[in-house]
Chains A and B, each alone.
Chain A
Amino acid sequence: MIAPIPVSLLVNGEPIEALVAPRLNLADFLRETLKLTGTHVGCEHGVCGACTVRVDGEIVRSCLLLAVQAQGSSVETIEGLSDSGEIADLQAAFRARNALQCGYCTPGMLITAQDLLRQSPTPDRAAIREHLSGNYCRCTGYQAIVDAVEATAKTRAEQAA
């Protein structure tokens, strides 16, 4: 039996202390230990993007990060971004345009899209597709997702003006 390792981190602003097995990845830690099941597990090898979360402000694959590697980090999940209202307009745009069907990819899509909009407030459609290229959606065909991100960017730009 391999001894668990203590880890302390912030999750959605809340300090967390836990003992974790070294092999436990961050996605499973969030889902199984903290019951934050908005982070989805798809391929478990970094291809599908369903497990995307923010660590210290940057998006990462939580299936490719060990929970022990998050020591001292600030992790933000879809629950955090939803509860703070940071992406309420993006979520409304997804809903309005049917930019989801089964919803499995949606948390990762939202976090990745918000990452783009924070770096580049008025991206064109090619830039949106490029930034979302690591997130698979098997339902929508992506058009509605790109529409929703583009519309949110425009609305935010108008509000900022």
Chain B
Amino acid sequence: MKAAAFTYARATSVVNALELLAAHGDKAKVLSGGQSLMPAMNLRLVSPDIVVDIGGLTELRGIAVSGDVLAIGALTRHVDLLRSPEVAAHAPLLRDAVAHVAHPAIRNRGTVGGSLAHADPASEIPACMAALDATIVVRGPGGERRIATAEFFRGIYETALSPQDLLVAVELPLSGEGARFFFQEYARRHGDYAIVGLAARALVGGGQFTDLRLGFFAVGDRPLLADAARKLINVSVTPALLAETAAALAEELDPEEDQQASPAMRRHLATVLMRRCVAALLERPELETGGAW
């Protein structure tokens, strides 16, 4: 199908984009890479009266380290994350995740800001941002705000953004020495939306986790930072403890049923990913099979 008719405005600056959004409110949609918005418009799931194209705002593009923060502009494309030495050095989780995001032709256009603002619960980047404890930078009529990932995602395609807001950047704390990362997902075909996925960041010392952040996706209405991970911090991980954690994780998740998987299947796959993740990060392959399981 083709998109319904709309008026097109090419924003000339961030200020101009904010003016357009202030004038048109929820009748407007922001177009960045268009790799989620255009399919939705072509399928007539979304029919904005006006499309505000921010694609030409080069000030929103780029990756830079400043102080103890890795700042990624909203218009930074998926392919830019794959190629960035800063991302490879400070947030390799993002590079690993992006290899699973759709296909090369999509990654050449899709943007980080677009993925976050779209807030598809099955999408990889939001879960990475949860695992990496990112802060999302938003500009609106009242000025600039910084929103923690946990506050930003509110539900399926729902975020803390108001119709007058523009997501301008995301900031990640530098991972520091000794940080370890894990990314895996189940999908029917490489590049498809995940059935279940896990993006994790850990600190390991003396064979134990001193920090562990497990960001699951496609297991609920938003990326989920699993509370169950706390059971594994500052303790010696045994098969029994891992089994207990898996049970707590399955309890914590509230997955949707869809054509791809039942809630029970999603819970099971999430625990499988959690075991693999713990085994890989602690370099203890015997934990993956789970001993008693």
* A positions within 8 Å CB-CB of B: 2, 5, 21-23, 25, 28, 44-46, 49, 52, 58-61, 63-66, 68-69, 71, 112, 115-116, 130-131, 133-135
Contact = CB atoms under 8 A, between A and B. Distances in A.
29 contacts: A2-B5, A22-B5, A22-B6, A23-B5, A25-B2, A25-B3, A25-B42, A44-B1, A44-B2, A45-B42, A46-B39, A60-B109, A61-B35, A61-B106, A65-B38, A66-B34, A66-B38, A66-B51, A66-B53, A68-B10, A69-B31, A69-B53, A112-B105, A116-B104, A133-B190, A134-B102, A134-B103, A134-B104, A134-B106
A68 B106 contact: no
Nearest to A28: B2
Given A5-B8, A22-B5, A134-B105, A63 B34 contact: no
Given A65-B34, A112-B105, A44 B190 contact: no
A54 to B, nearest CB: 10
Main secondary structure of the interface of B (DSSP, over half): loop
B239 interface: no
Most buried by B among A28, A49, A115, A134: A134
B120 to A, nearest CB: 13
B35 A23 contact: no
Contacts of A66: 8, 31, 34, 38, 51, 53
Range of interface residues on B (Cβ < 8 Å): 20 to 34
Contacts of A116: 104
Best-buried of B8, B106, B190 by chain A (most CB within 10 Å): B8
B108 interface: yes
Contact of B35 (A28, A46, A59, A68): A46
B237 to A, nearest CB: 33
Given A133-B190, A133-B191, A23 B3 contact: yes
Contact of A61 (B6, B53, B55, B109): B109
Given A45-B42, A69-B55, A60 B8 contact: no
A22 B5 CA distance: 7
Interface in B171-213: 189-191
A69 B35 CA distance: 13
A21 B5 contact: yes
B158 to A, nearest CB: 22
B235 interface: no
B64 interface: no
A44 B53 CA distance: 20
A61 to B, nearest CB: 5
Given A63-B38, A134-B102, 16 more contacts: A2-B5, A2-B6, A21-B5, A22-B5, A22-B51, A23-B4, A45-B38, A46-B39, A52-B105, A58-B79, A60-B105, A61-B109, A64-B38, A65-B109, A69-B34, A133-B103
Nearest to B108: A58
